[in-house]
Structure 1
Amino acid sequence: MGAYQPPDPSGKKPSSTNPGYFLSKPVCTWLACGFLSLALFHLLCCSPASTQQAVFSHLLQYINNTYSFVASVPEGGKSCNYSEGKWVWAPGHARRYNATECNVKESHDCIRNGRPDTGYLDWRWQPEGCPLPAFDARAFLSAVRGKHVALIGDSMARNQAQSLACLLSAAFPYRLVYRDPYPHQNNFWRLAFPTHDVTLSFYWSPFLVRATGKPVNDSIRYNYVHLDEPGDRWGADADTIDVVVLAAGHWLLNGAVYYNGSEVIGAHNAPELNHTGVGYAWPLRTVYRTAVKRVSSGAQPRTVVLVTFSPAHFEGNRVDSPTACTKMEPYKEGEKEMPWIFKEVRGIVHDEARAAKAANGDGGAVRIEVLDVTKLAAMRPDGHPGVYMNRDPFAHGVQDKMLSDCLHFCLPGPVDTFNEILLQLLRKRR
């Protein structure tokens, strides 16, 4: 249909000519479409694959950003719920960076380590009732311009932090501010993105609060956890952090000896020490409360994001089996029941987020969000390094005992979706 023209007062039929133009507008439009079609045909037939991928990835990104909307997480009052959905086939969706170039932990660099199947990179998360745009580095840095973003927690927090660093550094220049001097440790690092004056940090703090013993020295058998004190390093920097992402759970399930001040108040999974058993749920609630209280102090506006539990996918009774996690596709809806303990840990995070929101008030300086990744992570048994946590694991044949990583995700991989959702949370209006 042509453009609307108001009725001519003279009663004459509106003119279809365009004085001043050599060709009419409809003809120009058809010619433009023809040239565009020829250009696309030439691109598809005659251009290198790398050129095609670059052009079409930018085109798809533009379409995603133009025709999608920012919706809220559960309890936000809108229809979008990123925690529920399904994985849909999307060839190339997760192929956004080279993990070797962005210095990820070597055991997560699955392609470098020789993993032959890359189908785990061809899926995207489709939430119920809304689109989830592909990660946009410019949009993320714009959303946190001038701010210090810190991910704090266990090795899954590190997995997500390295994913975020790779997604951003693939698109924008960065400067390494600090990294642990010990190779392969990756317990603390900080990057600066000067184009947007953004600082990105990771703090290893598997209990969120101060912990000694095994978290510091792996040869020590027990974890000694001080529930009333935030982690030393991040606690000292907390007043400089504007966006805080907290993730814990796995270490609390494993157990520890828990302290309040200098007094032992109980333990979990340490029966030989003869301490009162306190389970894992109460300590998990407590460490989140201690951490949120520390980052909520003062009048500085902050965003605090609590990440839910990301389950492991070990199959069988041995973590050193070469077949501990070999599935090559995501689970379909209803294919695999999630263990009740993972549901409980997920619920605890939501409970603590609600309590923190109530304590800080809707109009307070601290904004509390939940990044609920439990279901989408639980459905991705195919995304782990498995035996490809080591380089060329089958170079000497199949061994009876081969360590597998069925907890963390390959980079790039499903964990990039955590940061796609994080971006939407940060862009959401309060």
Structure 2
Amino acid sequence: MDVPLSSSAALRRKGYRPLYSFTLVALILFITILYGEHFLIIFRGQSEVHRPHQSSSPSPVKRKDGEKLAFAVGEAERGCDVFSGRWVWDERGPLYEEAECPFLTSPETCQEHGRADTDYQHWRWQPHACSLPSFNASLMLETLRDKRMMFVGDSINMGQFYSMVCLVQKFIPSYDARSMTWNGSLAVFEAKDYNATIEFYWAPFLLESNSDNPVIHRIKPNDRVVRKDSINKHGDHWKGADIMVFSTYLWWISGLKFKIQEGAFDDEDIGIAEVPTEEAYRMAMKGMLWWVNENMDPNKTRVFFTTMSPTHGNAFEWGAHEYGNCYNQTEMIDDANYWGSDCNKNVMNVIDEELRKSGYPITLLNITQMSSYRKDAHCSIYKQQWNPLTPAQLAYPVSYADCAHWCLPGLQDTWNELLFAKFFYP
């Protein structure tokens, strides 16, 4: 039975009022600590690895009247916005179990690392005006036959990649018929009987940057630099993909200004300029859209862009304890109007403005506000700790809780259910 967000038995706290006293310095330090976990796995060996109203309404898919997008098998119900909805309790549980997906790594493997509660796996997104089509792994695999699906971005987007792998791999009965390989910045999951791949490419800014090393990329926020007009540095590795899922956000949050460089990084005579963060982000969006127009065929290929993934590093945001964050949070935020102030609305506006200009039909996955309620779904302390924890940290778990990445199975499976819906029923 569907249980509305406001009346679920799992949601006991009432009357939260979000406070917008966000501390930028705290967020910068928080994000700085988080990144790098995934790619230490690569260092050990690059071998086989055994639903609310938006305050910003980016443009829908662009297409001519009557034009059918590639891979579409049907149309969404008229007037249905799948991103406007509520979370409802679902006793059936997740679409797969953590232990069923051998390709998962930390930080997504929360149960393996001690998380005991499972309520965060039982929430289903229910759009207000319609229902999401059920995720059909067989249809997805058959559609991917002889094709490449690629996720491009940072470790948040890699979590969505792992989610998609887990959603389809359990329907490939033979273990020998599926594999995962790493080669530098590129991860490739292969469904051999389908001659299909689902891939991930590490490019946290999409443009070339000084954070592009897939293993060693912990650059202090104020020292991060991207190179202007450098989309082809990474884009050359994306050519030939049939479905692209782009995302870039958290690495840009380094303050009001961001550093860009005109020439190559090995050219010492080229200076570095500081520009407003929104301007630098716009440069990356323009580069991505240029690359898509140059390299993708709208009659045969599809492009998606996943919006900002919210963090929950400041409990002030939902009216809780002064020093809290996502640690020990097992209930979602019970306020339909909640919008955390860590989500940069200026960046959301840049996405909106640039996608509206695009002549290529870009499908937006607007996951930001629906995810902002889910402070219960983060990895928190339940992940592999790559460095020994100090006694002070052990005594105060809030200090090392990961409030950016998400447990799997969990929230990012819903992102892929939305991708599935927009892929086949745009």
TM norm. shorter chain > 0.5? yes
Structure 2 unmatched runs, 5+: 1-72, 317-322
1:160-182 superposed Cα distances (whole Å, 9 cap, x missing partner): 0011111111112543262147x
Residue in structure 1 matched with residue 254 of structure 2 by the alignment:
254
Corresponding residue to 1:376 among 363, 367, 370: 370
Give the RMSD, CA atoms, in angstroms. 3.1
Corresponding residue to 1:209 among 207, 210, 215: 207
Distance 2:418 2:226 in 1: 31
Distance 2:296 2:186 in 1: 27
Provide closer, same or farther for how the CA distance between residues 398 and 95 of structure 1 changes in structure 2, counting only shifts above 3 A.
farther
The answer on whether the counterparts of 2:333 and 2:375 sit within 8 Å (CA) in structure 1 is yes
Residue in structure 2 matched with residue 314 of structure 1 by the alignment:
313
Structure 1 position 344, deviation (Å): 3.1
Provide closer, same or farther for how the CA distance between residues 340 and 387 of structure 1 changes in structure 2, counting only shifts above 3 A.
closer
Provide closer, same or farther for how the CA distance between residues 298 and 194 of structure 1 changes in structure 2, counting only shifts above 3 A.
same
The answer on whether the counterparts of 1:149 and 1:241 sit within 8 Å (CA) in structure 2 is yes
Provide closer, same or farther for how the CA distance between residues 78 and 144 of structure 1 changes in structure 2, counting only shifts above 3 A.
farther
Aligned pair 1:225/2:226, yes or no?
A: yes
Distance 2:394 2:250 in 1: 30
Aligned residues: 329
The answer on whether the counterparts of 2:259 and 2:273 sit within 8 Å (CA) in structure 1 is no
Residue in structure 2 matched with residue 325 of structure 1 by the alignment:
327
Q: Name the aligned partner's letter for residue 257 of structure 1.
A: K
Structure 1 position 316, deviation (Å): 4.8
Q: Which piece of structure 1 moves more, 215-224 or 282-291?
A: 215-224
1:241-294 superposed Cα distances (whole Å, 9 cap, x missing partner): 111100001111126421233599xxxxxxxxx965422111112112212221
The answer on whether the counterparts of 2:260 and 2:274 sit within 8 Å (CA) in structure 1 is no
Identity of aligned residues (%): 25
Residue in structure 2 matched with residue 146 of structure 1 by the alignment:
146
Task: Kindly report which structure 2 residues correspond to 1:177-216, keeping only aligned pairs within 5 A, or say none.
Answer: 178-180=181-183, 187-213=185-211
Who wins on radius of gyration, i.e. which is larger?
A: 1
Corresponding residue to 1:285 among 282, 286, 298: 282
Q: Name the aligned partner's letter for residue 283 of structure 2.
A: T
Provide closer, same or farther for how the CA distance between residues 388 and 140 of structure 1 changes in structure 2, counting only shifts above 3 A.
same
Q: Name the aligned partner's letter for residue 338 of structure 2.
A: K
**SS of the residue aligned with 2:210?**
strand
Distance 2:86 2:95 in 1: 19
Distance 2:251 2:407 in 1: 21
1:106-165 superposed Cα distances (whole Å, 9 cap, x missing partner): 221011111011100111001121111332211222333322100000111101001111
The answer on whether the counterparts of 1:311 and 1:342 sit within 8 Å (CA) in structure 2 is no
Structure 1 unmatched runs, 5+: 1-68, 182-186, 265-273, 361-366
Structure 1 position 226, deviation (Å): 1.1
Which structure would you say has the larger RCO, counting Cα contacts within 8 Å and 6 or more residues apart? Answer: 2
- TM normalised by structure 2 equals 0.69
Residue in structure 2 matched with residue 416 of structure 1 by the alignment:
413
- TM normalised by structure 1 equals 0.69
The answer on whether the counterparts of 1:153 and 1:204 sit within 8 Å (CA) in structure 2 is yes
Residue in structure 2 matched with residue 84 of structure 1 by the alignment:
84
Provide closer, same or farther for how the CA distance between residues 316 and 214 of structure 1 changes in structure 2, counting only shifts above 3 A.
farther
